[in-house]
Copies of this chain bind each other. A is one copy, B any other.
């Protein structure tokens, strides 16, 4: 059983079918096709407003292009110090911005507070020697599986407006966060001041479908050139567009996200009930971060359950991982089945019982 990530399976049925359906026709290349045009209109409906949409191959490219549209080579972008953009993309933002700087702020659960952004910017000397702050990037859901609520996003939006920071939202798990909040895409983004979104489809049912959604027209100006220049303009543009077509149809994306979140909830609740196990952070989206006794960890691994150890850098103040414990991440997806979750729980419970008995 594989809980290593939400990118370990292919596409969900409706997405794959849409892709197959779009295959045969002759269509203009490089995004000039009608499916791309339709998907752009769909994005506008989904977000309830005009927006510029740039389909790209990966979340890394979406994030890096989005940041490059907002941050000049001599600018800095604020993000959490465990942000994917800062730590897991081999410097893609630095590459695409031509040497911009990412500044990692601390914060429990990989969340940044409006106060910390505000304080950072206020203390930054305004001088030609210091790279000016030009953007804020948050991950929704965060790298610790938490979800910023609407008020938190609004507060960050305020700070961005006050300090003239572009506000970027890394939505690799956009749908999971939205399903968790039970809000609309608009409520989670531009209505709170978000300027540009990396809208991920890949982790939630697509094979490879990411979009940069831009609400601030000025940020969109350079993106067509930047995307082409980065080799991110797919020649058979239907490949990504058709996936989004299937993704958005009949609320499929929401259904996928709800399912994944539900599986995560079952898994989190179940694990929290296991003797000796506690959750590092709430499982608000589709990721579960238990702190496991080493014995339980060993048992799960022995059972062939795949998952990753995780950083404890963003644990809440005062919490820590003990010497006989390990902090790990399990991720659910649209494809996770409840039996798989129950298998994990069963294995964990019996390991905990054995451990108690020893």
As for how many copies of this chain the complex holds, the number is 4
A95 within 8 A of partner (CB): yes
Interface of A is mostly: loop
Contacts of A5 in B (CB 8 A): 29
Interface pair A236/B10, CB less than 8 Å apart: yes
CA separation between A101 and B225, bound complex, in Å? 14
Q: How far is the CB of A308 from chain B (nearest CB, A)?
A: 11
Task: List the B residue with the shortest CB-CB distance to A62.
Answer: B231
A206-250 to B contact mask, C-beta < 8 Å, 1/0: 011000000000000010111111111111101100000000000
Contacts of A65 in B (CB 8 A): 231
The answer, among B8, B92, B238, for a CB contact under 8 Å with A229, is B92
Contacts of A236 in B (CB 8 A): 7, 10, 202, 207-208
Task: List the B residue with the shortest CB-CB distance to A16.
Answer: B23
Q: Which of A123-131, A187-195, A275-283 contacts B (4 or more CB under 8 A)?
A: A123-131
Contacts of A36 in B (CB 8 A): none
A293 within 8 A of partner (CB): no
Q: Which A residues contact B (CB, under 8 angstroms)?
A: 2, 4-5, 7-11, 16, 20, 22-30, 56-62, 64-65, 72-74, 87-92, 94-102, 128-132, 202-203, 207-208, 222, 224-236, 238-239, 335
Q: List 14 A-B contacts (CB under 8 A).
A: A9-B27, A10-B25, A10-B238, A57-B232, A60-B231, A64-B231, A73-B229, A74-B90, A74-B91, A90-B128, A91-B100, A128-B233, A207-B239, A208-B234
